[in-house]
Structure 1
Amino acid sequence: MHDLTPVFSAVTASFLASFVEVVEAFTIVLAVGVTRSWRPALTGAGLALAVLAALVLAFGPLLALVPITVLQYIVGVLLVLFGMRWLRKAILRSAGVIALRDEEAAFSRQTDALGRQANDRRADYLAGVAAFKAVLLEGVEVVFIVIAVGAAHGQTLYAGLGALAAFVLVMLIGLAVHRPLARVPENALKFVVGLMLTSFGIFWTGEGLGAEWPGEDFALLAIFAVVAAVSFAIVRRLRGAYAAPTEGIAR
């Protein structure tokens, strides 16, 4: 069980984070396919995946040249920054400070934009570029997460399998329903992913600095619990702060 803790953590974090990113990319690709045709949609997406594969093949082997403690520290700091970016948005959305992301609305915006370009001679080219950019931008985040959560403890293969599973699941569901996955609780997933990435980052930064965590890998669970408790406390505080002026006006 002890040896499975980092594997389970890497697979779970990679799967959830990749699921969110693939849903967002799929929404754009679907809009391109429905509005224009599937040829530019699949061409753009395919080229983006090829670029991502080239990046992994080019930079992946370089990680083996970095000392493990240095790698843990660098990856840890980056994960804290990356995870807290996700966590910040999820907290603000949960507190009602900013609006929740709506995949149906994103789909409508993209189809409207593509519709306005319908008479442009470059319509297919622009549609392909839209699909390419969506897959590339979201894919870069997936690649970073897979490398980050896997590299520090040699779990890159398992993290990659988690990301692949998320990709396959989104494709199967999306192609079956042929609609944006609007019912996916995206903010809840981002909240969990933000908590996990931040927890990983704190854990590996400590290891990179030479800290010996009590319980070793099980310390991840304690870190996660502390980060989650602080985050939920912030959500409650923000809800109270933003509700107070409204209640005062109502009285």
Structure 2
Amino acid sequence: MIAWATAAPAISAAFLASLVEVVEAFTIVLAVATVQGWRPALAGTAAGLGVLGLLVLALGPVIDRVPLQSLQLVIGVLLLLFGLRWLRKAILRAAGIIALHDEERAFASETASLSEAARLDATRRNWIAGLAAFKAVVLEGVEVVFIVIAVGAGRGLLWPAALGAVAACALVLVIGLVVHKPLSRVPENTLKFGVGVMLSAFGVYWTGEGLGVAWPGHDLAILVLAAMFLAIGLSLVPLARRPRKIEPQEMAR
């Protein structure tokens, strides 16, 4: 039986990462439904989910055939690169160097793009709208599939990680369908910061496992690594902030 202390980090990482990705995909699907109706939106979403399902079925047997230590090393390096990319962007956004992701702006942009196709015939409009929903689901879903596999493969945690991802999908869909608007109040950069920390910690842990490192405390080392990445990330935010320019009139005062 899997211990909660072992499963909790995998579930949390998969849940938070999936929450971010599903919010972004839902924003585009909702824009499609608003402009063109739910039929092409749901058709594109269903097709995207079908592609993701085939991807999972194809990857499953391949992963089982890869030697465990090699799998740990490859996934560890990829997961570390993936996590550091998220963490870097979250730090830069928190420091004000790059703009925060705005779901309402993304919704407006996608709606405007789809509205430009209004002069086309109904069949072509439906195809364009369905394709937009399909692309959003596949692009964001591939990242979710990768994260679930990365944090769960080789340790018997695929189902707990998948459970975290499914819970995030269900939460976003329920809230989104109830409020019927972009989930702009979701603290997306905070979530990305946390996901970057967790994925980076998993990446270091898995890389060490692949290289034969004996971690003190075994899986509990992931929490220590996460705390280290969190402390480093938070300390880098004020260092990355650009100093405010002093206007000449202020210098004269």
- What TM-score bracket applies, with the shorter chain setting the length? over 0.9
Give the Cα separation in 1 of the matches to 2:171 and 2:60. 25
How far does the alpha carbon of each residue in 1:133-181 deviate from its partner, in whole angstroms, 9 at most, with x for none? 0000000000000000100312001100110011111000000000000
Give the Cα separation in 2 of the matches to 1:22 and 1:133. 13
Worse overlay, 25-34 or 118-127: 118-127
Judge conservation of contact 1:41–1:127 (CA < 8 Å) in 2. Answer: yes
Give the 5 Å matches for 1:89-168: 89-121=89-121, 122-168=124-170
Query: How many residues are aligned here?
Result: 247
Give the Cα separation in 1 of the matches to 2:173 and 2:246. 45
Per the alignment, residue 72 of structure 1 pairs with: 72
Worse overlay, 208-217 or 186-195: 208-217
Give the 5 Å matches for 1:78-93: 78-93=78-93
What 5-or-longer segments of structure 1 have no aligned partner?
none
Give the 5 Å matches for 1:1-251: 3-121=3-121, 122-239=124-241, 242-244=242-244, 246-247=245-246, 250-251=250-251
Worse overlay, 116-125 or 82-91: 116-125
**Secondary structure of the residue that 1:216 maps to in structure 2?**
coil
How far does the alpha carbon of each residue in 1:99-119 deviate from its partner, in whole angstroms, 9 at most, with x for none? 000100100001111111111
- One-letter amino acid matched to 1:135: V
Give the Cα separation in 2 of the matches to 1:196 and 1:98. 22
Judge conservation of contact 1:6–1:153 (CA < 8 Å) in 2. Answer: no
How far does the alpha carbon of each residue in 1:84-130 deviate from its partner, in whole angstroms, 9 at most, with x for none? 11111101000000000010010000111111111112111111110
Give the Cα separation in 2 of the matches to 1:152 and 1:82. 19
Cα RMSD of the aligned pairs, angstroms, is 1.2
Judge conservation of contact 1:75–1:152 (CA < 8 Å) in 2. Answer: no
Give the Cα separation in 2 of the matches to 1:231 and 1:17. 17
**Secondary structure of the residue that 2:236 maps to in structure 1?**
helix
**Secondary structure of the residue that 2:118 maps to in structure 1?**
coil
**Secondary structure of the residue that 1:117 maps to in structure 2?**
helix
Give how far 1:4 is off.
Answer: 1.9
Give the Cα separation in 2 of the matches to 1:110 and 1:131. 10
Change (3 A) 1:248 1:200: farther
- One-letter amino acid matched to 1:24: E
TM-score by length of 2: 0.95
Give the Cα separation in 2 of the matches to 1:218 and 1:51. 35
**Secondary structure of the residue that 1:118 maps to in structure 2?**
helix
Give the Cα separation in 2 of the matches to 1:67 and 1:132. 34
Give how far 1:248 is off.
Answer: 6.3
Give how far 1:247 is off.
Answer: 3.6
Give the Cα separation in 2 of the matches to 1:208 and 1:4. 23
Give the Cα separation in 1 of the matches to 2:154 and 2:94. 31
Judge conservation of contact 1:41–1:131 (CA < 8 Å) in 2. Answer: yes
Judge conservation of contact 1:152–1:204 (CA < 8 Å) in 2. Answer: no
What 5-or-longer segments of structure 2 have no aligned partner?
none
Give the Cα separation in 2 of the matches to 1:235 and 1:33. 38
